[in-house]
Structure 1
Amino acid sequence: MHSIQFRHGLSRCLGRYFTSSLAKPMTSTNLDPVQEESLKENCLLVDRNDKVVGVASKKECHLVKKDGSLPLHRAFSVFLFDQKGDLLLQKRASTKITYPNCFTNTCCSHPIHDVYGEQDEENAIGVIRAAQRRLNYELGISRNQIPVDKFKYLTRIIYKDVGDGVWGEHELDYILFIQTQVDLNPNLNEVSELHYVSKENLPALLPTLSGPLTPWFELILKYKLFLWWNNLNNLDAFKDHVNITILEK
């Protein structure tokens, strides 16, 4: 059994985090077997209007082609806040195939074609179900603590990043906010650190982090995050379910 150490009161970190010695360094020829198995999951291919146009494996969606292209597919990014308004950040485990050891928002993943109910589109309920599933899988959060009706679907963005030139991202990303108290029991094959950070402390925290930011979190941070964070109690005023914003570096 692997234990997780919980530390607090570290002013350098300006938050709380878990650390793990479970994760091992990855190489392109030595993929973690659990992560490699997940590459068989089928994602939803979409056009730039978010219309489903097909299905492809996670591997097909994230392998960069010789011309630098990647299939556009549906995804989500969850931003979970506690009752004080602090945001939960994670550091992706070194076992991750895409963007290992990078810091990002609370949870980022995909609705899966083969999971019942995750294709449903009305009020983004399928995406929200997928977010609930992944929060439980990655962070050990009980589904009872994150019921689907607590999520707020704000808007959609498109971004592309070729990553390390082998594995990258091209996603139509649903932005989901949720504010609630949760109990954390992270999956160390997914997550190596967790930080709660306040809006005021985030700018000072970023230079102290032990890894880079994921490209999607960096773009959301640059263009949108603080506007939404400043209005946690009035998010309905910032919902846009019509337009899809393309974010670029």
Structure 2
Amino acid sequence: MDRESLLVELVDDDGVPTGTATVDDAHRAPGTLHRAFSVLLLDDAGRVLLQQRSAVKTRFALRWGNACCGHPAPGSSPVDSAAVRLREELGLSTVDFSAADLTDAGVYLYRATDAATGRVEHEYDHVLVGHVDAGTPLRPDPAEVAALHWIDLDVLRADLAERPAEYVPWLAGVLSVQAGATHGR
């Protein structure tokens, strides 16, 4: 399946749907604001799972990011769509993980241009947080994921500040939303 030809839901700054476009069209400069999700997976020790995006990604290839990202189909739930992508990208089975295991931490609105490809991320990004056991078997799809790595959250934040070019540009914002949701409880 060509993920670039799938439809995304265009939204305004408040997340109200305004139409649809293909993934490809929404990410062409100057970028069109659309709904997305970013999943942070934490283990019992508070470590976060990072994925290195595959070399064939059209945006920010080979950079480290959160466990999974994607776009819900128009009218679809970001949580349900994320559970599906976790199965597709990381091979998480429904026995190990389901949509019920995800918590919506909030929304992060951002725009970032990939200098290597000229593609633009302009997303109304639902930050979803889940917990999995670090020993849960993962079977990443090599078309999506080059590598996986568990890392302590404080170490990640320090490395992100020191070497931001190694990471996807939305990761710091996603971590901020997660931290705000955690501290707001």
Of 19, 24, 35 in structure 2, the residue corresponding to residue 74 of structure 1 is 35
Q: Structure 2 CA distance, aligned partners of 1:168 and 1:196?
A: 28
Q: Structure 2 CA distance, aligned partners of 1:200 and 1:218?
A: 12
Question: One-letter code of the match for 2:97?
Answer: I
Equivalent residues of 2:108, 2:177 under 8 A apart: no
Deviation by residue 1:157-183 (Cα, 9 ceiling, x = unmatched): 210012226211000000100112232
After TM superposition, the score normalised by the length of structure 1 is 0.67
Aligned residue number for residue 44 of structure 2: 83
Over the matched positions of the two proteins, sequence identity in percent amounts to: 28
User: Aligned pair in 2 of structure 1 residues 50, 226: CA closer, same or farther (>3 Å)?
Assistant: closer
Equivalent residues of 2:105, 2:177 under 8 A apart: no
Superposition deviation, residue 47 in structure 1: 0.9
Would you identify which runs of 4 or more consecutive aligned residues in structure 1 move more than 2 Å? 199-209, 218-221, 223-228
Aligned residue number for residue 60 of structure 2: 99
Aligned residue number for residue 201 of structure 1: 155
Secondary structure in 2 aligned to 1:166?
Answer: coil
Q: Structure 2 CA distance, aligned partners of 1:112 and 1:197?
A: 31
**1:59 maps onto 2:50 in alignment:** no
Secondary structure in 2 aligned to 1:202?
Answer: helix
Q: Structure 1 CA distance, aligned partners of 2:132 and 2:159?
A: 22
Equivalent residues of 2:8, 2:34 under 8 A apart: yes
Secondary structure in 2 aligned to 1:130?
Answer: helix
Secondary structure in 2 aligned to 1:201?
Answer: helix
Of 17, 23, 40 in structure 1, the residue corresponding to residue 5 of structure 2 is 40
Equivalent residues of 2:41, 2:67 under 8 A apart: yes
Superposition deviation, residue 189 in structure 1: 0.7
Aligned residue number for residue 183 of structure 1: 137
Q: Structure 2 CA distance, aligned partners of 1:75 and 1:54?
A: 14
Superposition deviation, residue 206 in structure 1: 4.8
Measured on the aligned residues, the alpha-carbon RMSD in Å equals 2.3
User: Aligned pair in 2 of structure 1 residues 204, 53: CA closer, same or farther (>3 Å)?
Assistant: closer
Question: One-letter code of the match for 1:50?
Answer: G
Which runs of 5 or more residues in structure 2 are unaligned?
none
Q: Structure 2 CA distance, aligned partners of 1:111 and 1:224?
A: 19
Q: Which has the larger radius of gyration?
A: 1
User: Aligned pair in 2 of structure 1 residues 71, 207: CA closer, same or farther (>3 Å)?
Assistant: closer
Deviation by residue 1:121-170 (Cα, 9 ceiling, x = unmatched): xxxxx111110111111111112322222211011121001222621100
Which runs of 5 or more residues in structure 1 are unaligned?
1-33, 114-118, 121-125, 238-249
Q: What is the aligned length?
A: 182
Aligned residue number for residue 79 of structure 2: 128
Q: Structure 1 CA distance, aligned partners of 2:114 and 2:143?
A: 20
Deviation by residue 1:63-116 (Cα, 9 ceiling, x = unmatched): 11xxxx211100001000112221000100001111101110111111023xxx
What does 1:218-229 align with in structure 2 at a 5 Å threshold?
218-221=172-175, 223-228=176-181
Q: Structure 1 CA distance, aligned partners of 2:162 and 2:109?
A: 28
User: Aligned pair in 2 of structure 1 residues 45, 199: CA closer, same or farther (>3 Å)?
Assistant: same
Aligned residue number for residue 159 of structure 1: 110
